[in-house]
Amino acid sequence: MSPLFPPDAAGLGLRRALLDELRAAPAGAFDFLECAPDNWIGVGGRLGEALADLSARHPITCHGLSLSLGGVEPLDDTFLARTRRFLDQHGVRLYSEHLSYCADDGHLYDLMPIPFTEEAVRHVAGRIRHVQDLLGRRIAVENVSYYAAPFQAMDEVDFVTAVLVEADCDLLLDVNNVYVNAINHGYDAHGFLARMPTDRIASYHIAGHYDEAEDLKVDTHGAPVKDAVWDLLDAAYRLHGVRPTLLERDFNFPPMATLLDEVQRIRHAQQAATVATQAAHG
């Protein structure tokens, strides 16, 4: 798979609350920005100008929120056409969505888990292929965090991999989601990572979560990244190689300097993994 950016690119989520600080950030503070097109399509005025300015100066990726790839209602082809125009307008290099569903006779405003079955593989993969056809591009889907586990005839790794193969799409590997799910559902996070298909991984996400209890973690994107998740990112790099990696933060924003310190920590991890790989290969 050809890289969309240099593999050691480190990015930051483009959020409206951060617009002014992102525009004022020093050159090289981050390598790319990621936004949810659902929140920006059709937005004009001051906000639209700020987005246009940022996308002219920085590579942009997009992470969708509302396609409901696992749902049963027809995909919104009008929205997909608008999304395609948005991606083209801003020169978006990677578009991803969640391997979940979020609508059932209206939006549910949450990402709901899909049953891990062969029927669901065929259903979701067909919808992903439809999305790729209408967008005119290959997309990535993200492994999601989930708190209830509907019927599981397959384990999660086999389900995710089967969808990727059937749809012929890529994976956005969310390392924090692996950690959260491993704690909540009692499986080994490193074993899960090891079984992910290396050649399908387009990029990584990393984020903070909330410790509700020792055996219950909530994927909030509202806190600093935990040390155990940084360790898991290091493991992902060792197992699958360095890929463009995004820091997600959606609320409880610290000073920009603190966010940029986390972006720099991604870079340090990428550099360390690259050096280790080079040393291993002489």
Q: Does residue 6 sit within a domain?
A: no
Q: Which tens digits make up the pLDDT trace of 75-131?
A: 999 999 999 999 999 999 899 999 986 545 444 445 667 889 999 999 999 999 999
Q: How many residues does the chain have?
A: 282
User: What pLDDT score was predicted for residue 2?
Assistant: 38
Q: Does residue 213 sit within a domain?
A: yes
How would you label 77-104 residue by residue, b for 16+ Cβ within 10 Å and e otherwise?
eebbeebbebbeebebbbbbbbbbbbbe
| Structural domain boundaries, residue 151 | 13-280
User: What pLDDT score was predicted for residue 52?
Assistant: 95
Q: Does residue 21 sit within a domain?
A: yes
Tally the domains of the chain: 1
Q: Does residue 2 sit within a domain?
A: no
User: What pLDDT score was predicted for residue 4?
Assistant: 65
Helix (H, G, I), strand (E, B) or coil at 37: helix
Q: Which residue has the higher pLDDT, 150 or 16?
A: 16
Q: Does residue 3 sit within a domain?
A: no
Predicted TM-score (pTM) of the model is 0.93
Q: Does residue 5 sit within a domain?
A: no
Q: Which tens digits make up the pLDDT trace of 155-171?
A: 999 999 999 999 999 99
212: CB partners within 8 A, 6+ apart: 218
205 alpha carbon, distance to own chain's centre: 5
Q: Does residue 34 sit within a domain?
A: yes
Across the range 194-200, mean pLDDT stands at: 97
Kindly write down the DSSP assignment for every residue of 63-132, as one continuous string. Answer: E-SS--TT-SSPP-HHHHHHHHHHHHHTT-SEEEEESSEEESSSEEEEEEPPPBSHHHHHHHHHHHHHHH
Q: Does residue 39 sit within a domain?
A: yes
Q: Which residue, chain included where needed, has tokens 């981050």?
A: 30
Residue 5, pLDDT above cutoff 80: no
What span, in angstroms and rounded, lies between the C-alpha atoms of 244 and 254? 23
Q: Which tens digits make up the pLDDT trace of 125-163?
A: 999 999 999 999 999 999 998 877 777 889 999 999 999
CATH of the domain at 181: 3.20.20.150
Cβ atoms 126, 168 nearer than 8 A: no
